Amino acid sequence: MRHFIFVTRAVPAPTLELLQAELPGCQVVVNQQDRNLSRDEILAAARGASGLICTLADPVDRALLQGLSPALRVVATYAVGTNNIDLEAARELNIRVANTPGVLTDATAEIAVGLMLACARRMVEGDAMTRAGRFHGWAPLLHLGRGVYGKTVGILGAGRIGKRVAASMHHGFGCPVLYASRSLHADWESELGARQVPLDDLLRQSDFVSIHCPLTPETRHLLNAQRLALLKPTAVLVNTGRGPVVDEAALVAALRAGRLLAAGFDVYEREPALADGLKDLPNAVLLPHIGSATVETRDEMGRMCAQAVADVLNSREPRHPVA
List the catalytic residues. Answer: 242, 271, 289
- CA-nearest of 105, 77, 68, 84 to 321 is 77
How many whole angstroms separate alpha carbon 259 and alpha carbon 86?
Answer: 38
Q: How far apart are CA 250 and CA 204, in angstroms?
A: 17
Amino acid at 195: R
At position 148, the amino acid (one-letter code) is V
Residue 200: phi, psi to the nearest 5? -60, -40
Provide the H-helix boundaries in the chain: 13-22, 39-45, 62-68, 87-92, 105-120, 123-131, 160-173, 186-192, 199-205, 225-228, 248-256, 295-313
CA 88 to CA 85: how far, in whole Å? 9
Residue type, 24: P
Residue type, 191: E
Written as one letter, the residue type at 271 is E
Local structure of 21: helix, strand or coil: helix
Q: Which of 207, 225, 221 is nearest to 116 (CA)?
A: 207
Is residue 262 a contact partner of residue 119, using CB atoms and an 8 Å limit? yes
Contact criterion met (CB below 8 Å) for 37 and 276: no
